Amino acid sequence: MRPFVVTLALGALLLCAPAPALAQGETAAALVSTVQRENEWFCSILAPRAALSGIVEQLARSMQFEVEGLELISPTALVTVDLRDRPVPQAVEWILGASGLRSRWRTGVLQIQRILPDSPTPDELRDSALATYTSALRSFPDAEAAAAAAFAKAAIFEQRGNIAQAIGAYDSLVRAFPQSVQAPEALIRAARQLFRQANWDAAAAHYADLLRLASTGPLALEARLGFASSLARKGEFRSALRLIAALDTASPALTRMEMHQRLLVRARCVLGEGNAATARTLLRKSENGGLETELELEFYELSARALPTDAPPEFAAVAWMEYARRATDDQRATAVSEATRLTRLAGDEIGALALDRWAELNGVGDATRAHALAAREALGLDLQSLSSDLAADRLARAERLARARLWPEAYSTFAQLREQTPALDESARTRLYTGLAKSLDGQDRVDEAITMLREGLELVTDAELRREFYLTAAAILESRSRIDDAIEAYRGRL
């Protein structure tokens, strides 16, 4: 092995050409000295073509350090070093770097490690694979492995969430290699993605193409069920029912999941034809043995749509909300809007406001805004409609809003009663100011809540009622981990 020489002169690291091989045992002596100043080690090294391992050992020995990993240094690694009064860690890092090594310091130990390149990230590996597959397909489009390469490329797009590119790549594979073993899998993957996107026409076309390629096997069964489900969602109910009947005859359901999937397709079809009662019967059967998580969205959608016309509005609202919690985007907006409308119809305006808050938090607030405004008006949350209410009614209404955790609405209602504080008895004042504090705390306005309690204390003289103020303050402060302040409140100091 030919040694290579590194020259370090006045702190500059210069890579030189490989030196001629030395005879066994032929190495130059290295002059190494160290000195410690203010807990930091400095060194001077004069070494003409000396063994790297020997320099490291001398440095470590002079500082009374142990060396770990010395075997990583090649015995033929030679360096030429001329350094004067340099920090030892810096000098060692320079010297070891010439051999692709680095140093790590611990108490009393100098550890030598290899310099390893950073591992590529998953995305970098996928980019590299995509580039490789693309280049291979461009250079060898007719090779036997071309279909496998095209499938791998499409699968990478799918894994990365580039669904449109993945579908396009799967379709390209099927067009280019219709007889390949990868074609059925490519069609089913594209069909699944199109079904998830609610592109029923394209999904049905892909399932039909797969059925033309494969007549048996698990993919064929999935394709027949997917084809029927796509037709049902397109509104072709008669065709979908015929397909399910034929599927049951040719391949009876072997698992509970398969049976429930087919029942849901039938329920959608009969519901689409106006037979809600039969749909409800089928839905009840689909729950036998427990409802699979994958089928919950479709089950609750159909359950909401199949409700009898005389169903109690509060019961119907629950069904629509179950659907809303599992749906996304436009489906979620439709479901929560109907749930809010039915909740108002049941006379539960506070419940309607709670659903409006849920809609806001889940990105579909526009769907419930009109219902929420009507509920607020019915509750008298605007000043004009509240002015004619009795104070006791408004206080009770504010407390109901607070129990429903509708903090802004509760605070607004409590705040409008402050003008009538002189007319309230001490019990009502306590309810008012503790309610104001809790509503402010619910909005993370803790200091304002405590200020409100202090204000209320000035208006109450009864010892038991004043104790309610201190307990409320302590509970708020303790929940915010302000323990010292909470202890003071428990002691009756606010």
Tens digits of residue pLDDT in 360-406: 989 999 999 999 888 888 877 653 443 344 577 778 888 888 888 88
On the question of pLDDT at 44 being above 60, the answer is yes
How many Å is the Cα radius of gyration of the chain? 38
From CA 231, how far away is CA 223, in angstroms rounded? 12
pLDDT-wise least confident of 73-82, 213-222, 420-429: 213-222
Say whether pTM exceeds 0.75. no
SS3 424: coil
Share of the chain above pLDDT 90, in %: 56
Q: Which residues contact residue 339 at a Cβ distance below 8 angstroms, ignoring those fewer than 6 apart?
A: 317, 318, 320, 321, 324, 355
pLDDT at 195 over 70: yes
* 58-95 as b/e: b if 16+ CB within 10 A: bbbebeebebebeeebbebbbbbbebeebebeebbebb
Helical residues (DSSP H) of 346-462, grouped into ranges:
349-361, 369-379, 383-386, 391-403, 407-415, 426-442, 446-457
- What pLDDT band is residue 141 in, cutting at 50, 70 and 90? confident
Instruction: Give alpha helix (H) positions in 273-390.
Output: 276-286, 296-305, 313-326, 329-345, 349-361, 369-379, 383-386
- The single residue listed with the structure tokens 């490291």 is 56
- Please name which of 242, 308, 321 lies closest in space to residue 274, comparing C-alpha atoms: 308
Helix and strand numbers (H, E) in the chain are: 23, 8
- pLDDT confidence of residue 451: 93
Give the separation between CA 252 and CA 248, rounded to whole angstroms: 5
Which pair of structure tokens corresponds to residue 153? 């490329």
Euclidean distance between the first and final Cα of the chain, in Å? 82
93 and 103 in contact (C-beta within 8 Å)?
yes
* pLDDT (tens digit per residue) in 10-38: 333 333 333 444 444 455 678 899 999 88
- Measuring CA to CA, which residue among 263, 273, 267, 206 is closest to residue 236? 273
Does the CA dihedral 387-391-397-399 come out positive or negative? Answer: positive
> Would you say residue 353 has pLDDT above 90?
no
Average pLDDT over residues 90-117: 86
Tokens 């890092």 belong to which residue?
Answer: 93
